[in-house]
Amino acid sequence: MGSPIASSALVESVLAGQMSAIARLITHAEVGGEVCQDALAEIYRHTGKAHIVGITGVPGSGKSALVARLCKMIRGARRRVGVIAIDPSSPFSGGSILGDRIRMNELVEDTGVFIRSMATRGALGGLARAALSGVDILDAAGYDVVLIETVGVGQDEVDVVQAVHTTVVVSAPGLGDDVQAIKAGVLEIADIHVVSKCDRPDANKTITDLKMMLQMGEQPLQENNWKVPLISTSAVSGEGIQELLSIIDGHLEALKLSGDLQIRRRRIAETRLLKSAENILRDEFERQQEGKISELTNRMMSGNIHPYAAAQILLNQVRGELEL
Amino acid sequence: MGSPIASSALVESVLAGQMSAIARLITHAEVGGEVCQDALAEIYRHTGKAHIVGITGVPGSGKSALVARLCKMIRGARRRVGVIAIDPSSPFSGGSILGDRIRMNELVEDTGVFIRSMATRGALGGLARAALSGVDILDAAGYDVVLIETVGVGQDEVDVVQAVHTTVVVSAPGLGDDVQAIKAGVLEIADIHVVSKCDRPDANKTITDLKMMLQMGEQPLQENNWKVPLISTSAVSGEGIQELLSIIDGHLEALKLSGDLQIRRRRIAETRLLKSAENILRDEFERQQEGKISELTNRMMSGNIHPYAAAQILLNQVRGELEL
């Protein structure tokens, strides 16, 4: 992909749905770099057809098993499905997620399914951008449904979740109070609630607790009168998976009918525009103002100037230059 | 704190160590706003004395219990200790963290200990800033050690961890593979490793696994020749807590001896300067360029211009204006 010609050949292969080309372009998107921008710009022109679904839940909530089940169900209906799993592993822990990945492997022989893990390590800040580029690529490559699996904590995750059409929040029985507390922060972003592992004896308590928490929050109806449903599923028995898929599909229909799909798509576009502008500004700023930054850091260290005040001085200096 | 006079009186009370004043100023820092900047700028001049220690670990790793034990141990040595706990709870889950907080309550009668929880909810992006302001306030108020407790996932958390002198990463036996995988991403930032809950029968396996993971990563010695230690602790029996505190103190001494404390402090100052500049720029940008942003969003929607390309058009338009 060193030259524009190679880049455009790669894009054509992606648009034709070639899995090796898709994998290569996603890798380019992860690594970043200028060459890749042309390809991604071309890809973006072919997006807008897929249903983008976020699957969010704390570690241990059984997201991956649920995603694997959903993939099979979607394939059963002859639709193509892509998955971007934002994976908090690092080279240190290569082995420790195999439990989940092995379940995924049942799907790898099927060309109608594309699954890609992205590590958070080394990509902090750039992760959301890479994940959203991955979604664009799968969308343009003709996958009907694109699932993004995330743990739903932190800014990167929020950026990703803000860029989906339908958000599924997964809770599970048997997790500690501390874990459940983390989950609470994302409850309100749900379009659909799932209590997974409903084959477990303590699942009923989790469902009751969750219903109580949702009422306590006095959740209003969403703008489009969508009443957020709560479904219990079991990746072991397959219970509830078909129902979940029907509801995911139903949510897209509801968004279309109410006109909210267009509103969500607009919000996604605006958010991505602003994030991109911010990234470009930050890169240029750090490159061009190195001397000033060093000098102001010295002043912060010696005179204990507050970072905010120092930042204002820095920006005033930069503006002074621009106005000359 | 509406007027400069009230603000400076509040700062004086904070510097005198009044707990109610400290609590009020931290609340102001969480809420943000212009008035607060003067107070925080004044506070910042009095910082630089405390040892800032990050305590990072996944949900369920027993961080809070460990922090409570450490607080008691630090108090036993007649030193004052402040805690900022970045708490992933929300109003939905007000009750679910009581288990941990109750242990903290044993400490609340002691004026030499100040503990403050900050919620992630509603503060995303601004959380790191508020937490670091909280640390400044506790530092200026004369606490000898300031502990920051975080789950160590996401950009906010990384921003916070980048602003400490000593990072303790807590692992625990009995968490699922998925949870351990999350932890792996933060392993490499550790100055000190702790395996908590060492009273549990499966703790030895966790210690063995962790040692293996650390070797697999071929961890080099840190720049200052600090050899990252691994300590096992039990908040139940108190085992290892004294040793942990000695090692935390020893890490600060090592940083001072090698000159690396100054390097870390400089890096912290520079990071905070850049973050502040970024925040100011973003706020101004979104306020002033509203019309242009809306127009470009339309073009993205109709012509499928890629966010990056649209961002470049936006920035070129803004620059064109500046140069006129």
Residue A121 dihedral angles phi and psi, to the nearest 5° = -65, 130
Instruction: Pick B320 or A292 by higher pLDDT.
Output: A292
Contact between A177 and B99 using a beta-carbon 8 Å cutoff: yes
Contact A117, A53 (CB under 8 A): no
Which residues between 233 and 262 in chain A have a beta carbon less than 8 angstroms from any beta carbon of chain B? none
What pLDDT does residue A289 have? 78
Is the torsion defined by CA of B223, B229, B234, B239 positive or negative?
Answer: negative
What pLDDT does residue B124 have? 43
Minimum Cα–Cα distance from B34: chain A residue: A308
Least confident segment among A91-100, A162-171, B13-22, B68-77: A91-100
Do strands B230-232 and A51-57 pair parallel, antiparallel, or not at all (unpaired)? unpaired
Determine whether domain A48-258 maps to CATH 3.30.930.10: no
What pLDDT does residue B98 have? 35
| pLDDT grade for B232, boundaries at 50, 70 and 90 | very high
Which residues between 271 and 310 in chain B have a beta carbon less than 8 angstroms from any beta carbon of chain A? 272-282, 285-286, 293-294, 296-297, 300-301, 303-310
Tokens of B160: 């916070």
Instruction: Pick A159 or A30 by higher pLDDT.
Output: A30
Minimum Cα–Cα distance from B182: chain A residue: A88
pLDDT cut 70: percent of chain B above it: 76
In one letter, which amino acid is A231?
I
In one letter, which amino acid is B33?
G
Residue A122, pLDDT > 60, answer no
Contact between A153 and B153 using a beta-carbon 8 Å cutoff: yes
Q: Which SS3 state, helix, strand or coil, does residue A300 take?
A: helix
Which residues between 79 and 98 in chain A have a beta carbon less than 8 angstroms from any beta carbon of chain B? 87-93, 96-98
Nearest to A91 by CA among B47, B185, B305: B185
| Other beta carbons less than 10 A from residue B140's beta carbon | 25
Residue A151, pLDDT > 50, answer yes
Instruction: Pick B233 or B30 by higher pLDDT.
Output: B233
Contact A166, A316 (CB under 8 A): no
Tokens of A201: 């004896």
Contact A148, A54 (CB under 8 A): yes
Cα angle: A150, vertex A202, A195; to 5 degrees: 30
| pLDDT grade for B123, boundaries at 50, 70 and 90 | very low
Residue A146, pLDDT > 90, answer yes
Q: What is the pLDDT of residues A274-305, one digit of tens each?
A: 888 877 877 777 777 788 888 889 888 887 78
CA pair distance A73, A75, nearest whole angstrom: 5
What pLDDT does residue B104 have? 52
User: For residue B237, what are the CA distances in angstroms to B61, B234, B242?
Assistant: 16, 5, 12
In one letter, which amino acid is B27?
T
Contact B306, A132 (CB under 8 A): no
Residue B298, pLDDT > 80, answer yes
Is the torsion defined by CA of A233, A239, A242, A243 positive or negative?
Answer: negative
What pLDDT does residue B152 have? 62
Residue B231, pLDDT > 90, answer yes
Residue B156, pLDDT > 70, answer no
Contact between B276 and A308 using a beta-carbon 8 Å cutoff: yes
Rounded to 10 deg, the angle between the A127-140 and A260-288 helix axes is 130
Contact between A178 and B37 using a beta-carbon 8 Å cutoff: no
Domain spans of chain B, in order of start: 1-46, 47-258, 289-323
Report how many Cβ contacts below 8 Å link chain A to chain B.
258
Q: Which of A139-143, B91-95, B282-286 has the highest mean pLDDT?
A: A139-143
Q: What is the pLDDT of residues B299-311, one digit of tens each?
A: 888 877 888 888 8
| Other beta carbons less than 10 A from residue B79's beta carbon | 15
CA pair distance A158, A147, nearest whole angstrom: 15
Instruction: Pick A88 or A78 by higher pLDDT.
Output: A78
In one letter, which amino acid is A145?
V
Minimum Cα–Cα distance from B307: chain A residue: A273
- Distance between the two ends of chain B, CA-based, in angstroms? 42
What pLDDT does residue B289 have? 78
User: For residue A55, what are the CA distances in angstroms to A85, A165, A222, B153?
Assistant: 9, 11, 19, 18
Instruction: Out of 3.30.160.100, 3.30.1540.20, 1.10.10.10, 3.40.50.300, select the CATH number for domain B47-258.
Output: 3.40.50.300
B263 at A interface, C-beta within 8 A:
no
Instruction: Pick B281 or A109 by higher pLDDT.
Output: B281
Residue B161, pLDDT > 90, answer no
CA pair distance A315, A294, nearest whole angstrom: 14
Q: What is the pLDDT of residues A179-217, one digit of tens each?
A: 454 455 566 678 999 999 999 888 888 888 778 777 655
Q: What is the pLDDT of residues A50-63, one digit of tens each?
A: 999 999 877 677 88
Contact between B87 and A308 using a beta-carbon 8 Å cutoff: no
Contact between B307 and A276 using a beta-carbon 8 Å cutoff: yes
Contact between B92 and A213 using a beta-carbon 8 Å cutoff: yes
| Other beta carbons less than 10 A from residue A1's beta carbon | 19
Nearest to A29 by CA among A50, A43, A18, A9: A43
Instruction: Pick B127 or B253 by higher pLDDT.
Output: B253
Tokens of B216: 């697999």
Q: What is the mean pLDDT of residues B243-257?
A: 96
What is the pTM (predicted TM-score) of this model? 0.70
